[in-house]
Chains A and B, each alone.
Chain A
């Protein structure tokens, strides 16, 4: 996949101003269209006379003629707990590096002792061995060989039981937060959008008097049964997903569309137990749960390399 492709797609989606547009539009044409749309907007506003800023109980919202509903959403990631398996090239290279380091190094005290022991053993096993010729100091040193020390250390290491890395049974269960420890996971919840229930990042409508970050935090705490400790990374949103309402809704409720602002968070503290209607998914599994246009807008800030 060439690097230009996602760039074109996302920029086209942005400039066209319509979330549902899936066909890749050439960047220049898209930009012109957006400019026309903006001009028509401003002209429409001037004509109707509904210009200016209207106070909305606390926060000042512009675009009073074209109201957009604001939603705050939380993009919660459980980062990797164990290191991923090495690729074959990485494994070969690390082996080569170790080899080269060994070749260019000096011998350590332990290695010198090993050599000494070997030498002494060889001398002892020689045909013309005379124990009286042996130096006074060396005579008492055959009690503990360095090789025995090494064996003792290895036994001690084997005696320590570690947790297994690969856990196939746990990895298959999507509700568990401790699945796929080598990869970062994303939290998805089921939300009711219009007539249907969809899987998406936890979101909730913005209420007057709070910042969008607090909205996102509220959305996270509102998911039933989820007991998480998170750290929200900063006050600024990391991404945006907007879509316009169909004409019927627009005329009926006067709502032009919806803007969802995403806020990034990272799981800190112990992993939570499984909760109903919430899933932890890897980036490769996201396409099975999210709508394509939604996923397209989320992908840039997920940064799962």
Chain B
């Protein structure tokens, strides 16, 4: 029987090495001396640890899995043939009407766009003229006008809806169950 006294900074693990190294009779005189460790041991342990670290690094070098883009994956529901509609065979008048309507619409939209562009240019001209006149009048006021206004942004305005707002309407809280997939790498 032998008692093994281990000092605080030593590992208390029962490694296979300890059987060979520490099968010493630890008696009172031995306890007083500091433990003699072979210089090879820490070196060997150090080398082993480095080898393990290298193996870990090699495993970790695998590129991370790409997060799939949900919008690019066609859900299998859409590929079901039973969902397809029968091709409508349009009569000649209907197809003609559609073509003419599309052309009229493009003409209308083009006119709308040119009118918008022109209106914007006129507004810019008016502003430029005002700033020029202001510069003639007073340099300080002109500099104050040129300065960007930090309070304007963020600017938000509720756009037009179909019906006017109800006075004192309490909208009911909507319940929703969020099922968005969150990917982590």
Contact = CB atoms under 8 A, between A and B. Distances in A.
Contact of A266 (B112, B115, B149, B157): B157
11 contacts: A3-B115, A61-B137, A70-B137, A81-B164, A83-B162, A89-B108, A106-B80, A212-B134, A234-B149, A303-B120, A305-B115
A7 B122 contact: yes
A238 B123 contact: yes
Dominant secondary structure of chain B at its interface with chain A: helix
A165 B82 CA distance: 42
Interface string B78-97: 10101111001000000000
A165 B162 contact: yes
A163 B116 contact: no
Interface in A1-48: 3, 6-7, 10, 14
Contacts of A145: none
Contacts of B160: 79-84, 182
A68 interface: yes
B123 to A, nearest CB: 5
Contacts of A103: 85, 88
Interface in B34-82: 78, 80, 82
B126 to A, nearest CB: 4
Nearest to A267: B157
A99 to B, nearest CB: 9
B164 A181 contact: yes
A259 interface: yes
A182 B160 CA distance: 8
Interface string B89-132: 00000000010011011001000101110111011011101110
A211 B165 contact: no
A134 to B, nearest CB: 20
Contacts of A231: 152, 155
A222 interface: no
Contacts of B88: 103
Given A80-B160, A83-B160, A83-B161, A303 B133 contact: no
A178 to B, nearest CB: 8
A93 B105 contact: yes
Interface in B125-150: 125-127, 129-131, 133-134, 136-141, 144-149
A185 to B, nearest CB: 13
A107 to B, nearest CB: 5
A237 B147 CA distance: 12
Contacts of B105: 89, 93
Which range holds the interface residue count of chain A?
Answer: 35 or more
Given A79-B157, A236-B145, A62 B165 contact: no
Contacts of A112: 82-83
A300 B122 contact: yes
B163 A165 contact: yes
Nearest to A58: B140
A232 B150 CA distance: 12
A6 B148 contact: no
A211 B148 CA distance: 13
A239 interface: yes
A280 interface: no
Nearest to A182: B160
A249 interface: no
A238 B130 CA distance: 7
Given A62-B138, A81-B160, A235-B149, A301 B127 contact: yes
Nearest to A84: B160
Contact of B84 (A106, A181, A268, A301): A106
Contacts of A237: 127, 130-131, 134, 145
A120 to B, nearest CB: 16
